Chains A and B, each alone.
Chain A
């Protein structure tokens, strides 16, 4: 573990990514406490440019709502959706992949055909359809993002398990009569996790982007403000009021970038040999 942090902190991109993520989490957790005003409240005159009034530092939108408050509350929704939907995708994808890889044969065939069924549909289109059918709400958005993002997890885990399954220590465990679930959970999965962790960090980034795209198209939860919603709502007035779109857009950019950097840093840290050879 110590080794892990050491190599993680040695990679500059990992450090930058971590700082960004921690900052975003801090804003999401503590921001709404410091700015208790609802981001939906009309507080000032509409289209107030940024940096003109201290109370609304980033200006106001078409209804006179505080863009800064929207950014802070939006961080909460974006991160929450990103983390929870990734978690759900992992919970679905890891067991499917592990079972397919471990049991092989017909089980593998059945599970992989099922996975491919989801992979053949363009993920964004599927997400739109799901949200539209289920009606936009935070739950349906998390669910649909999870549904479109678990197949890669399953494929990855399956590949790892396939290769680990032939190792001696796994064979030994089978010979000593350990139960299948014990072998999968205690022997194989812990050793298959590092690429999954890297993938997960990138999935959070993708999920944030997906949520933003959905909200941009008007398929966000109408009761929650999110960065994607702000960009979508400000899009029509971008020529009169650039700040309504630009600030949340930058927020999406930075947080997605941060998560990608973390993914890179994790990759370096978890595969030290690979990264050293690469340099």
Chain B
């Protein structure tokens, strides 16, 4: 007998409660910055950050996720899991229409899965566990898995699995379909116009399926290529919303102090970007575990957090960000301790061999961070040489394993099976990749723990496996974990309720309203 999960509805009520304190007002136009200009808006085919940010308001997924990453209803109003954890049944919301007025049904979901398997790399991987998808009626979708897959309910967010209109895409060439330039979704806002290099304009969907929403009339996504000009645009009142990462960190404190300005680090829980240093485990001094541990002790991560990231974020304790399921901080600790680092280097017999450091060419913040880490490591006697490179050149070097230490940050997607294990299991060692197991760490025990963890039931069993994996990894230091990043979102305080979910601005305008 399937156990019905109505948790989602309960949660939705819980979330709505604080908003009731102040009655949302209808109407108004919001100007937000989008940086950089997205290459396209067809979310099922383009997954760049800025595309997700704009199109997350046009398209919808079956589910949304709370800041604690519990699933919330969106196009699916309820869902249930069979006893053997292999069959997931979604009940779709009735009365949902596409922006062109056609009704949304289970056939659209089925079609979307077909398209995503071809056009969306991450969705393809996520769907690999699915044996078959069936639609017994117009408002029911049943996913049958090959084996139980713990994180399955975590893959239905709009950016990971957007639902696209079957009636506009079926039988056409998806890549050249004219609707790619004027996307049609079920979301709270409809695409209106895109002046390339200037702005993208979305307007309210009057027939939106959640009564009363959205509250705003229009959203203008302003495209401003220069970081300093983006700050000025906020100061002069041209824009009201600066999503995470759209201004330099150094500008954040100044902008935060402006009148009527609200800053939050929330809204990134689903992605939980974690920054670390790839350490090339294959060769040279870094092949020695003690040298890798020395790096953990040598780098002043509190300094990086307080000075380079202006106090936003959190010092990482291990391979999982603290927002990820089954996270544990009951692991070996690496406080800033240069003396201990020196002792470990001596013990490992490090004699000043040259070590190459690749910073991340993503702008000033990352450059400064590279300089600070280099100085930290030089202070304990390591001979570091910074290699200057652009993004493409850096990716090439990392993909060719031609580095010793390299900066990176990766999204974790809420579950260790989706975003953590991929960086440490030996089957993911492959030349030419800049994600996955770039460091060349290989440990059969870790392979087994992550393999078992993905499919284990019940939850307590998964927890046990993943906690064990975290302990082993933190002891071995395959990579040097730095910070759980937070990208502050800066808004005029009159913009209310923009960030209510773990996906943040990417699907936030649905609930946002303007206090005039």
Q: By the criterion CB–CB under 8 Å, are B375 and A46 in contact?
A: no
| B308 surroundings in chain A (CB, below 8 A) | 63
Q: By the criterion CB–CB under 8 Å, are B227 and A236 in contact?
A: yes
B127-135, B248-256, B446-454 - interface stretch? B248-256
A147 CA to B371 CA, complexed, in Å: 30
Do A63 and B387 contact each other (CB < 8 Å), given the known contacts A236-B250, A236-B251, A239-B254? no
A63 CA to B379 CA, complexed, in Å: 16
Q: By the criterion CB–CB under 8 Å, are A46 and B386 in contact?
A: no
A165 CA to B327 CA, complexed, in Å: 83
| A126 surroundings in chain B (CB, below 8 A) | none
| A interface footprint on B231-256 (CB within 8 Å = 1, 0 otherwise) | 00000000000000000101101100
Q: By the criterion CB–CB under 8 Å, are A233 and B367 in contact?
A: yes
| A163 surroundings in chain B (CB, below 8 A) | none
Do A62 and B387 contact each other (CB < 8 Å), given the known contacts A236-B228, A236-B250? no
Do A233 and B372 contact each other (CB < 8 Å), given the known contacts A62-B250, A135-B388, A239-B254? no
A18-26, A36-44, A77-85, A200-208 - interface stretch? A36-44
SS of A interface (majority): loop
A95-103, A217-225, A246-254, A260-268 - interface stretch? A217-225
Measured CB to CB, the nearest residue on chain A to B376 is A42
A38 CA to B367 CA, complexed, in Å: 18
Q: Which interface class (under 10, 10 to 19, 20 to 34, 35 or more) fits A?
A: 20 to 34
Measured CB to CB, the nearest residue on chain B to A137 is B388
Q: Is B368 an interface residue (CB 8 A)?
A: yes
Q: By the criterion CB–CB under 8 Å, are A40 and B387 in contact?
A: no
Do A236 and B388 contact each other (CB < 8 Å), given the known contacts A46-B307, A63-B307, A64-B307? no
| A38 surroundings in chain B (CB, below 8 A) | 375, 378
Do A63 and B389 contact each other (CB < 8 Å), given the known contacts A236-B248, A236-B251? no
User: 8 Å CB contacts to B: which residues of A208-241?
Assistant: 218-223, 233, 236-237, 239-240
Measured CB to CB, the nearest residue on chain B to A219 is B388
Q: Is A17 an interface residue (CB 8 A)?
A: no
Task: State which of A42, A62, A218, A220 has its C-beta within 8 Å of the C-beta of B303.
Answer: A42
Measured CB to CB, the nearest residue on chain A to B250 is A237
CB distance from A40 to the nearest CB of B (A): 5
Q: By the criterion CB–CB under 8 Å, are B388 and A63 in contact?
A: no
CB distance from A47 to the nearest CB of B (A): 9
CB distance from B354 to the nearest CB of A (A): 11
Q: Is A136 an interface residue (CB 8 A)?
A: yes
Do A233 and B250 contact each other (CB < 8 Å), given the known contacts A64-B307, A135-B387, A222-B388? no
CB distance from A10 to the nearest CB of B (A): 47
Q: Is B515 an interface residue (CB 8 A)?
A: no
A236 CA to B228 CA, complexed, in Å: 7
| B interface footprint on A53-79 (CB within 8 Å = 1, 0 otherwise) | 000000000111000000000000000
Task: State which of A40, A42, A136 has its C-beta within 8 Å of the C-beta of B388.
Answer: A136
A132 CA to B389 CA, complexed, in Å: 8
Q: Is B100 an interface residue (CB 8 A)?
A: no
Q: By the criterion CB–CB under 8 Å, are A135 and B375 in contact?
A: no
| B375 surroundings in chain A (CB, below 8 A) | 38, 40-42
CB distance from A45 to the nearest CB of B (A): 8
CB distance from B310 to the nearest CB of A (A): 10
Q: Is B385 an interface residue (CB 8 A)?
A: yes
Q: Is B64 an interface residue (CB 8 A)?
A: no
Q: Which interface class (under 10, 10 to 19, 20 to 34, 35 or more) fits B?
A: 20 to 34
Q: Is B374 an interface residue (CB 8 A)?
A: yes
Q: By the criterion CB–CB under 8 Å, are B367 and A218 in contact?
A: yes
User: 8 Å CB contacts to A: which residues of B318-360?
Assistant: 359
| B253 surroundings in chain A (CB, below 8 A) | 240
Q: Is B138 an interface residue (CB 8 A)?
A: no
Q: Is B459 an interface residue (CB 8 A)?
A: no
Do A63 and B368 contact each other (CB < 8 Å), given the known contacts A40-B375, A236-B250, A240-B250? yes
| B464 surroundings in chain A (CB, below 8 A) | none
Measured CB to CB, the nearest residue on chain A to B386 is A222
Task: State which of B250, B254, B386 has its C-beta within 8 Å of the C-beta of A223.
Answer: B386
A137 CA to B393 CA, complexed, in Å: 15
CB distance from A233 to the nearest CB of B (A): 7
| B250 surroundings in chain A (CB, below 8 A) | 62, 236-237, 240
CB distance from A235 to the nearest CB of B (A): 8
CB distance from A157 to the nearest CB of B (A): 35
| B372 surroundings in chain A (CB, below 8 A) | 42, 63
Q: By the criterion CB–CB under 8 Å, are A233 and B364 in contact?
A: yes
A135 CA to B388 CA, complexed, in Å: 7
Measured CB to CB, the nearest residue on chain B to A221 is B388
| A interface footprint on B367-409 (CB within 8 Å = 1, 0 otherwise) | 1101110110011000001111110010000000000000000
Q: By the criterion CB–CB under 8 Å, are A40 and B389 in contact?
A: no
A135 CA to B385 CA, complexed, in Å: 13
Do A40 and B368 contact each other (CB < 8 Å), given the known contacts A222-B388, A236-B228, A240-B254? no
Interface centre among A62, A137, A240 (most CB of B within 10 A): A62
Q: By the criterion CB–CB under 8 Å, are A233 and B386 in contact?
A: no
| B364 surroundings in chain A (CB, below 8 A) | 233, 236
CB distance from B285 to the nearest CB of A (A): 19
A223 CA to B388 CA, complexed, in Å: 9
Q: By the criterion CB–CB under 8 Å, are A135 and B389 in contact?
A: yes
Q: By the criterion CB–CB under 8 Å, are A233 and B389 in contact?
A: no
A239 CA to B231 CA, complexed, in Å: 11
Do A40 and B307 contact each other (CB < 8 Å), given the known contacts A63-B368, A135-B388, A239-B254? no
| B379 surroundings in chain A (CB, below 8 A) | 41
CB distance from B309 to the nearest CB of A (A): 12
| A interface footprint on B243-271 (CB within 8 Å = 1, 0 otherwise) | 00000101101100000000000000000
CB distance from A9 to the nearest CB of B (A): 44
28 A–B pairs (Cβ distance < 8 Å), ordered by A: A40-B371, A40-B375, A40-B378, A41-B375, A42-B303, A63-B308, A63-B371, A63-B372, A132-B390, A135-B387, A137-B388, A218-B367, A218-B388, A219-B388, A220-B388, A221-B388, A222-B370, A222-B388, A223-B385, A223-B386, A233-B364, A233-B367, A236-B248, A236-B251, A237-B250, A239-B254, A240-B250, A240-B253
Binding site for A on B (CB under 8 A): 227-228, 248, 250-251, 253-254, 303, 307-308, 359, 364, 367-368, 370-372, 374-375, 378-379, 385-390, 393
Q: In the complex, given contacts A38-B375, A221-B388, what are 8 additional A-B residue pairs having Cβ atoms less than 8 angstroms apart?
A: A40-B375, A62-B250, A62-B307, A63-B372, A132-B390, A137-B388, A236-B248, A236-B364
Those 10 A-B pairs whose CB atoms lie nearest each other, nearest first:
A222-B386, A136-B388, A222-B388, A237-B250, A40-B375, A236-B248, A236-B364, A46-B307, A223-B386, A236-B250
